[in-house]
Structure 1
Amino acid sequence: MPDLPRGARLGVDVGKARIGLAGSDPDGLVATPVETVARVSAVPTTAEGDPAVTADVARIAAEVVERFAAVVYVGLPRHLSGHEGAATADARGFATRLAREIAPVPVHLVDERMTTVAAHAQLRAAGRKTSQHRPVIDQAAAVIILQHALDVERATAGRAGEHVEP
């Protein structure tokens, strides 16, 4: 892809309790699971009133640095109808905080409808019992989010999704 800079990509599946993280190779060909990060539920503010950097955002920012990531894709949970709800607003807020922390590395929001359902189906097809899904389901969803974004990059020679301003 001549129009896109070389570098790993990260995929993020933001949940209420956990955040799934996936990564790609520097050429952006294949998404693989990285880890599950505990979600920080309350976001403190700085003396200036801005949101403080939480442990979850800091962990993802460290992964961006370690992998020399070129872009981070955050899943945007919409209703099947396409409408946005509370989970969408939460993901947008998280993506904005992450974008501030990792700038100038861009953050893009990509539609993640049905990724958790697809992740459960893939884990079942791989022979994993449903009771074993919880520790890895968020990573599996992040892999689906990232692989979709990589496929869009290859098809369009551009970044997938909606750019998040830091």
Structure 2
Amino acid sequence: MARSDPRGVLAVPVQTLRRDTRQDADLAAFARLFAEYEGVGIVVGLPRTLAGREGPAVAAARAYGTALAALMPGIPLVYADERMTTVVAQRNLSTSGVRGRAQRARVDQAAAVEILQSFLDRQRGSQATEGGQ
């Protein structure tokens, strides 16, 4: 899970939530953190293949998004392509000197940051285009 600053410019990690299909504790934790950080919308990454195809992992991501939407009605939810975010996250962690077991523990958070940052950057780019700049 990642969040942005109040202006929607910079994405930062929050924590890794492991999926709990038995009790949905991760969904409850997500909702609690969302409220704590005064979230205004949700971006769920879609792990498409490099060819852009959707497989079982995308179906699971969409199911997670559906569960979040049911838990938090009225909150805008969008899906974003997350291809290559794990690779970029691993590279950035390595460049920062984070390796081995520590890297594995933080790669999901770093990938969430990449997904959200890409979304925020696209949003700012489309707003600049709409504004005639």
The 1-side partners of 2:100 and 2:85 are apart by: 16
The one-character-per-residue Cα deviations of 1:109-144 (angstroms, maximum 9, x if unpaired) are 100001111110000000111332121110000000
Q: Could you say which structure has the higher strand fraction?
A: 1
Q: Report what 1:49 is aligned to.
A: none
The count of corresponding residues between Structure 1 and Structure 2 is 128
Name stretches of at least 5 consecutive residues in structure 2 with no aligned partner.
129-133
Deviation at 1:80, TM superposition (A): 0.4
Larger helix proportion, structure 1 or 2?
2
Q: What amino acid is the match of 1:24?
A: S
Whichever residue aligns with residue 152 of structure 1, its letter is R
Query: What CA distance in whole angstroms lies between the structure 1 residues aligned with 2:97 and 2:35?
Result: 34
In the alignment, structure 1 residue 107 sits paired with structure 2 residue 77: yes
Unaligned 5+ segments in structure 1 are 1-20, 44-53, 159-166
Q: Where in structure 1 do 4 or more consecutive aligned residues deviate above 2 Å?
A: none
Deviations 1:31-64 (Å, cap 9, x if unpaired)? 0111111211446xxxxxxxxxx11111111111
Identity fraction in percent: 43
SS for the counterpart of 1:116 is: helix
Report the equivalent of 2:114.
144
Is 2:102 the partner of 1:122?
no
TM value normalised by structure 2: 0.91
Q: For residue 149 of structure 1, give the secondary structure of its aligned residue in structure 2.
A: helix
Q: Report deviation, 1:101.
A: 0.8
1:155 to 114, 118, 125: 125
Structure 1 length-normalised TM: 0.73
Which residue identity lines up with residue 2 of structure 2 in the other structure? A
Instruction: Give the deviation of 1:157 after TM superposition.
Output: 2.6
Q: Deviations over 1:53-79 (max 9, x none)?
A: x11111111111112211110100000
SS at match of 1:35: coil
| Aligned match of 1:91 | 61
| Matched residue SS, 1:136 | helix
Q: CA deviation at 1:27?
A: 0.8
Counterpart CA distance in 1 for 2:3 and 2:17 is 14
Which amino acid in structure 1 is aligned with residue 113 of structure 2? Answer: V
RMSD: 1.4
